[in-house]
Amino acid sequence: MNKLGLLLICLGLVGPAYAESSKELVHQMNLDHQEWLRGKIKKLPKKATVEVALKNGKHVYGTFQNFVKFDDGVWILPIDKHGLFADEAYDIGELLDIKVVVLRPI
């Protein structure tokens, strides 16, 4: 057996283990990111104007309404919507970041 064949066999044995460990690492990174976001969201004042960056690339500007702990739902009333049922809920897994937007200096 030549060196290339031996290398391919070794990679074939190690490759699946490496792929599995990288999946676990990405999963743990996602859990850490969600925990960081929970801490950040808990500090937000109600009715604050916020910018929500979603994982799909969309940005939502609106008023922070509530954070529901049991289902990790972040409720935002978008700036361009009005009415009783105009608020939207986002799962914490959908969020990249959330930050307070200062519309005018005090």
pLDDT by position in tens, the chain (length 106): 566 665 556 556 555 655 567 788 888 899 999 999 999 999 999 999 999 999 999 999 999 999 998 888 999 999 888 777 788 899 999 999 999 988 776 6
Rounded CA separation 82/41 (Å): 23
User: Domain 3-100's class?
Assistant: mainly beta
Sheet with 49-54, edge to edge strand ranges:
88-91, 73-78, 59-68, 49-54, 95-100
